[in-house]
Amino acid sequence: MRVALSLSDVPEVEESANRLPKQAARKVLREATRADHERVDTLPLMRRLLDERVSKADYGNALERLTLLHTSLCAELADSVAEYAHPRLRPGDLLPALRSDLAELGRRTMRDPDPAPRLASGAEALGAWYVLEGAALGGAVIARHLRQRLDPDLPLRHFGRADERRWPEFLRHLESSLSSRSEIEAAVRGARSAYRFAAETLQA
């Protein structure tokens, strides 16, 4: 599979007279990280969630690792993303739902999270934040499957979250924050680094 690594690799977002087309940042990020996404969504821990024989333990394991991922990356992002703060959205917004699903499942013991990779700039941090936000997007399908297979009353605040405005709002923020070629390239570096960390953290 061809993976575009920089802005100039993506024909439809080629620069003209220094103006970047609308949605350049998201297009580049999505293309440049397609293979990284495939790597994480095919990890055994993730695949088991959509398996016919999924168990509550599988669900708890996935929640635990996702909580570790969000905890570590958010700690790293907290300062570095300040340059691109959003008036309403915060990288840590998804953590309370993960933690309360875990607690309700009775999974209270969790190892300390590994430290996340250093993010060198605000634009890199924004790229890593894009990965955290996107990680919840496949949630509706997963929530429906788990309800059917395990228990209609399963705690599913994270995967079953129905805030349809959040992702478009985050994408608008991404586009208005990253306007130059070098900022978008930095965001790609941050996103790829976050995906590598996710692949390690979600490795069962």
Among the residue ranges 14-22, 119-127, 128-136, 182-190, the one whose residues contact ligand HEM (CB under 6 A)? 128-136
Task: Give the CA dihedral 119, 123, 125, 131, nearest 10 degrees.
Answer: -120
Side-chain-side CA neighbours of residue 96 (13 Å): 3
| Residue 78 is a binding residue for ligand HEM (CB under 6 A) | no
- Rg over alpha carbons for the chain, rounded to the nearest Å, is 17
| Residue 190 is a binding residue for ligand HEM (CB under 6 A) | no
5, 23, 30, 180: which one contacts ligand HEM (CB under 6 A)?
A: 30
| Residue 178 is a binding residue for ligand HEM (CB under 6 A) | no
Q: Is the dihedral of CA 71, 40, 36, 31 positive or negative?
A: negative
26, 70, 173, 189: which one contacts ligand HEM (CB under 6 A)?
A: 26
Among the residue ranges 34-42, 106-114, 117-125, 146-154, the one whose residues contact ligand HEM (CB under 6 A)? 34-42
Helix (H, G, I), strand (E, B) or coil at 89: coil
Among the residue ranges 12-20, 78-86, 118-126, 129-137, the one whose residues contact ligand HEM (CB under 6 A)? 129-137
Q: Report the distance separating Cα 47 and Cα 50, nearest Å.
A: 6
Residue 54: other Cβ atoms inside 10 A: 19
Residue 159's φ and ψ, nearest 5 degrees, are -70, -30
| Residue 41 is a binding residue for ligand HEM (CB under 6 A) | yes
| Residue 138 is a binding residue for ligand HEM (CB under 6 A) | yes
Which residues of this protein are in contact with ligand HEM, per CB under 6 A?
A: 26, 29-30, 37, 40-41, 46, 49-50, 130-131, 134-135, 137-138, 198
